[in-house]
Structures are given as structure tokens and as C-alpha cells.
Amino acid sequence: MRIVPEASWTLTDLFLERVRLSPEGKAYRWFDGTAWLDMSWGEAATEVGRWRAALAKENLKPGDRIGLSSRNRVEWMCFDQAALGLGLVVVPLFYNDRPDNMAYCLTDAGAKLLLLEDGKLWEALRTQANTLERVVCLNDAPKTDAKAVSAKQWLPKKGVALQPSPAKADELATLVYTSGTTGRPKGVMLSHRNIVSDLRAVIEAVPEICGRPQRFLSFLPLSHMFERTAGYYVPMCMHANAQVIYARGILELGEDMVSQKPTIIVSVPRIFERVYSKVEENLPPGSTKRKLFEKAVDIGWKRFKKEASLGENLLWPVLNTLVAKKLRARLGGELEYIFLGGAALAPHLLKIFTGVGFTFVHGYGLTETSPIATCNRMADNDPMSVGHPVPGVEVRMAENGELHIRGPIVMLGYWNNQAATDAVLDKDGWFHTGDIVEMREGRIYIRGRMKDVIILSNGEKIPP
């Protein structure tokens, strides 16, 4: 039961449609410290109604900005959906960020309310984030500040029936602050249409993910658009039983992979670098185990590229049992698709993990593109590239090799920063990514960043 959101929809429309079509379907799962708990879409709507009722009492009006700083958990979803449903603009912050950086983003956005996981952090924020009128703490709130309240006290026992958002598709849905590696963070303005357009494009590009019930394990920060779009909003578009499981944390990730057996994860290369480092510890150079492993990877890679000989195909079931299945079991044994982004996974690791049977959907994008601008297709999958543009998106390569992107996924601009907006968005609507690319047969290969390019005396430009 797939949903293809219409271009005129808001994110609230998507959530309401998912609830309407499958109120009994599995939606969310999390560990409460004692046991794993499940929530259906109907139950999620009821809980969002409580959060919406609480927010409605805070003297907020559509377009007001409200902050969110928490680990991935079901309350993140409830707050986000409740806020969007009232036409508010969500400003997610990395929960482990420096207080001064968080305060800058909140103040720059003019945020009036903040959901804070750790109430102790408010002591460090209170003198800097001076636009806030209310702070809701998921754990105990400081008793010394009238602005601060615990979520238990703040939430009513009974919520409201959910209604469509007063926001229009082209209006602001979220402000997502970039990391600020080259100065102060910039607030990327994304509309409902930006994000919904990206959801439509992803579902069209990889329709295979919608074919059956899926289990997503959520562990990348929801404050980043990659996890938020691919690991939170995309499941709403999929099968009625596309369930999001919130991992307990990075330290418990390995255990959660094995116990929860996800079928899809949204990941960055570091996770697979860690997995392989553990595997390599048990593969002494020249040992029979290493030779078997290398043989399995070699034949598995050839099978992926459809270049395996008859003899290699006949040998594969044995190598699969002795080697590949054991490595796949380390990640739960049922992992079907891996959305990989954020950086490039080393080619030898792509070959290894693809060779033992994992399917990578390698993609590329930026916060400014909602974020997925390109990705591989199942029928044309070169995991060494970042694939083709997603449907509805145009790309071009400038003379200097820079990638430009145009389409409905491109941001509205940077909040309160017209100069920065003008520097990357030209008058024809092309977003200048700052990334150097190579294009071959329509596929895009990322080669470096503009600011890192070294120009030799002969004029040749070399990305490091």
C-alpha cells in the first residue's frame, strides 16, 4: 500500500494519509529501558494529538519557529508532526552540540519554544538563547526557571483530533542549520514542497523498497536531513507496515542490528569501516579463513556485475554458507537495502560488502537539496558512483567541473542571509553545490570540493 504524495501536499497531509490508510499498521518501535515497545499508525496519531494540544496552548502562530534537540526517539516524531500540523517551523538541533552553537541557531531563528532532551543543558543555554519563551524537557526540568517544564507536566492526558496544516506546500516547514565548518552555521530554508518532492522522487527512483513490509533501524541523527528524509518521512510513503525502529545508541548498535533484524538502514561509511575492522581481526594474512573470505568476495562481486562463470556460480552456495551469511548475520541477517550517503565508502569496502550480498543504494545530496539529489537504481547500480539524478531534478557540470542542481528539491534560500543565498543560487534557479564531479554515461562521480582544488602551474585543476 504505497503512497505517492502529491506536489500540493504538506508533510502533515502525508502523515494523515498514512494514518487513514493503515491505522493498525506497524509504525514505530523503541526500547523503554525494560522492553521493546510498538506503536501503530493510529496510536501515533493519538499521541501526536496530545503534542499538538500542548503546543496549541503556547501562544504560537503559523510560521513561528520552534527548536528540537533530542536523540532519535518517538517523541522526536510526535513533536515534529504536531508542530508541522500547526503550521510551525521546526528547527532541529544536534542533541550533543555545544551549547553556544545551539544558542546561536535558536537565536538566529528567533525560536520561541524548545524541546530539550536533557534539562541540565538548559542551565548552559538560558543566558544565551534569549528568544525562547518555553523549554520543554523530556527528562526532569530545572525547578529554578519558570520557562522550563517537564514533558510529563506539559502534555495533556487527552489530545485533539488531527486536522490538515494551515501551511501551504510552498511555505517554510523547517530550518536546518549547516555544520558551520566555514563560519557560523547557516539556516537552510526547506518548504513542505521541497521535502515532499524529494520523497516522490526517491519512491520513483527505487520503487523496489515499497514491495513488502520493511523495518528501518534509525540511528543517524534526525537533525540531519539524510536520516530525516530517508529514514523518517520515506517510510510513511511505503508499505502499511514500514516500521521505524529507534536504535538505543551507537554503542548498542551492533546488538540492536542482531536483535531487531532491520531490512533497511540509512547509513554513512563509518559504520561499515567499523564492521570490517572487526572482521579483519579474525582473518590472519595467508590463513585459510582469509583465502575463503577473499574468494567469496571475488565471486560475489562478479555475480553482482553478472560476470561470474558457470563454475563460480556453482561454487557460490558453498561460499555463501561458509562466509557471506556469517558476515550478513553481524548486521541482523535480513538487511536488504542500505541507503548510503554523507561521504564515499572506500572502493575496496564497497566491493567487499557488495560481494557478500549487501545492496547499497549510493546517493548524493546536501541539506540544501532536501537532501537526495542523485541515487543509483537497482537495475543500473554502480556503487562506485552516486548514480543518476532523481526524477524531476536537473543537473549540469560547469566548465570548472562544479555540479549544479535545479528542481523542486532545491531550498528556498538561507535564513536571514541573502548574500549567502545569492552566492549559491543563481538567477536561473541553479544551486551551485561546490562539489567537483565527473559524469560518465549519465552517472555522477564525486571527485572533490571546489575549495580544496589545487591549481598547478600548467592550469590543471587537481582535487586532493
pLDDT band at 458 (very low <50, low <70, confident <90, very high): low
C-alpha–C-alpha distance, residues 410 and 390, integer Å: 13
Residue 12, pLDDT above cutoff 70: yes
C-alpha–C-alpha distance, residues 61 and 47, integer Å: 21
pLDDT band at 229 (very low <50, low <70, confident <90, very high): very high
pLDDT band at 239 (very low <50, low <70, confident <90, very high): confident
Task: Please give the average per-residue pLDDT across 62-74, as a whole number.
Answer: 97
pLDDT band at 2 (very low <50, low <70, confident <90, very high): confident
Percentage, residues of the chain above pLDDT 70: 97
Q: Which residues contact 147 (CB under 8 A, 6 or more apart)?
A: 126, 132, 133, 134, 135
Model pLDDT for residues 276-287, shown as the tens digit of each residue: 999 999 899 999
C-alpha–C-alpha distance, residues 88 and 138, integer Å: 20
- The answer to whether the beta carbons of residues 108 and 416 sit under 8 Å apart is yes
Task: Please give the average per-residue pLDDT across 314-336, as a whole number.
Answer: 96
C-alpha–C-alpha distance, residues 292 and 204, integer Å: 39
Q: Quick one: cell of 238?
A: 511505503
Q: Quick one: cell of 204?
A: 520513483
Higher pLDDT, 128 or 141: 128
Indicate the burial class of 158 (C-beta count within 10 angstroms; 0-12, 13-18, 19 or more): exposed
Residue 254: phi, psi to the nearest 5? -60, -45
Q: Among 122-131, 291-300, 302-311, 420-429, where is mean pLDDT lowest?
A: 122-131
Give the pLDDT of residue 463: 59
State the chain's mean pLDDT as an integer: 94
Give the pLDDT of residue 89: 98
Give the pLDDT of residue 448: 86
C-alpha–C-alpha distance, residues 100 and 23, integer Å: 42
Kindly tell me the sign of the dihedral angle through the C-alpha atoms of 291, 292, 293, 299: positive
Give the pLDDT of residue 140: 83
Give the pLDDT of residue 1: 72
Give the pLDDT of residue 180: 57
Q: Quick one: cell of 196?
A: 515532499
- The answer to whether the beta carbons of residues 139 and 150 sit under 8 Å apart is yes
The letter for the amino acid at 160 is V
Picking from 80, 124, 133, 120, the residue whose alpha carbon sits closest to that of residue 98 is 124
Task: Please give the average per-residue pLDDT across 401-430, as a whole number.
Answer: 97
Residue 179, pLDDT above cutoff 90: no
Under DSSP, the state recorded for 174 is E
C-alpha–C-alpha distance, residues 295 and 187, integer Å: 49
Residue 385: C-alpha distances to residues 278, 290, 340, 363 (Å): 26, 28, 11, 8
Picking from 445, 417, 345, 398, the residue whose alpha carbon sits closest to that of residue 180 is 417
**Which of helix, strand or coil describes residue 392?**
coil
Residue appearing with cell numbers 550480498: 357
Give the pLDDT of residue 267: 94
- The answer to whether the beta carbons of residues 99 and 124 sit under 8 Å apart is yes
Residue 388: C-alpha distances to residues 162, 205, 255, 378, 445 (Å): 38, 9, 35, 12, 10
